[in-house]
Structures are given as C-alpha cells and as structure tokens.
Structure 1
Amino acid sequence: MALETTRFDIQNYIKTHEDQTGYLDAVLEDGDPALIAAAIGDIARARGASQFAKDSGLSRETIYKVFRPGGNPTLDTIAKAVKVLGLRLSLAPASNSTKGPI
C-alpha cells in the first residue's frame, strides 16, 4: 500500500497573530537571513499580500521579491514589515555569547 502524502504549506499553520509571532521567533533563533526574509514573506501572504502591502507602504512586488529565500531585504523594508506585524526590532545577547558589553 502506497503512503499518501500532502504538500506542506506553512500558510495552514500561521493563521493567528500568536502563530505568526511564534513562527518568526523560531526562525530568528536560527539566525539565517534568508529564512528570516522568507518567514516574513510567508506571514505577509498569510495575512493577504495586498493588505500587507497597503499597511506597510511596500508594493506587492517588493513583498514577493524580497521576502523569499535569497531576497535580501533592506533594514528599512524589514522594519516596515515588522511594524505591520505589531512587533519591533530589538537586540538581545546570544545565549552562547562569551563577550561582554560593547
């Protein structure tokens, strides 16, 4: 008997603000810029790219272009997107950091 599989789509799992925040937080833990950009894009699409574009002041084209793996968004673009998510950018010490304050 053949194993049936279905295509995984993150959109099915990030419907609430809490799910979206948790998803982004998990991706930020990894620290991979390409994954972070892709996660923001996933959330933008889950919320509706047109509305996300309107709320952020970014074009839909920009959202689809830069918030994907390899998209390389600017800090300004990330800041606009994060603000729409009801979040803010901040820094915290890495858990494995052995260096003291700057």
Structure 2
Amino acid sequence: MSKADRHINVADLPEFDAALYLDSPESIAAYLTDILAAGDASLLASALGDITRARGMTEVAKSAGITREALYKALRPESAPRFDTINRVCTALGVRLVAEPLPN
C-alpha cells in the first residue's frame, strides 16, 4: 500500500471528548491548570463542562447547589460564568483554583 492509499479523512475520525480522560483529581487539576493559562473565560466554562460530564452532571449540580439546567447553561462553551459558579463547581469537583506568580 502506498502513502496515497493510507489517506485519512478527518471527517471519519471520532470526535475528541476530553471527559473520557478526566478520571482522577490529578488529571482534572492538570487540565484546568492548562485551561486557566489560556485566560479565556468561555474556554474555562467549556473545560468545566467536560469535567462535569466526566463526573456526572446531576451529581456535580447537586454537590454545587445548582440546578442541573443552570449548570448546563453556565458551562456551555460560549458562556462566561460568574466566579461564584466556577468556585462552587470546582469545590464540587474536588479541586480549587490557586494563584501563582508569573515567571519574570
């Protein structure tokens, strides 16, 4: 088989789902740390949505004291959730946001 015969059609590849890989507090913390470095609120909302799906939307909503519907709305990719919501979701997920100094 030649290289031309091994062409991969991107449309045939399965859609990537980060939730499948967020199976430990360490993987969740590493994922959030990378996302926070981007400084994009909607990306953070989307990432928290990935993590919440991995943990179970109903369970996280209950632990965070937020309705499931409100959690879905707050964590959709184009949203900009309030800090209180982010903090409550992080607490429900067993992680916390921390500050560290920027490198010089």
Q: Could you say which TM-score interval applies, normalised by the shorter chain?
A: 0.7 to 0.9
Give the match for residue 43 of structure 1. Answer: 51
- Percent same amino acid among aligned pairs? 40
Give the match for residue 55 of structure 1. Answer: 63
TM-score norm. by structure 1 comes to 0.82
Aligned residues: 96
Residue 87 of structure 2 contacts residue 96 of structure 2 at CA under 8 Å; is this kept in 1? Answer: yes
Instruction: Answer 1 or 2: which has greater helix percent.
Output: 2
Q: Quick one: which of 68, 77, 80 aligns to 1:72?
A: 80
1:44 shift after superposition: 0.8
Q: Report SS of the residue matched to 2:80.
A: coil
Runs of 4+ in 1 over 4 A off after TM superposition: none
Residue 44 of structure 1 contacts residue 63 of structure 1 at CA under 8 Å; is this kept in 2? Answer: no
Does residue 1:5 correspond to 2:13, yes or no? Answer: yes
Give the letter for the 2:80 counterpart: N
Which structure has the larger Rg? Answer: 2
TM-score norm. by structure 2 comes to 0.81
CA 1:15–1:80 in 2, change beyond 3 Å: closer, same or farther? Answer: same
Structure 1's unaligned 5+ residue stretches are 97-102
CA 1:56–1:5 in 2, change beyond 3 Å: closer, same or farther? Answer: same
1:87 shift after superposition: 2.4
Structure 2's unaligned 5+ residue stretches are none
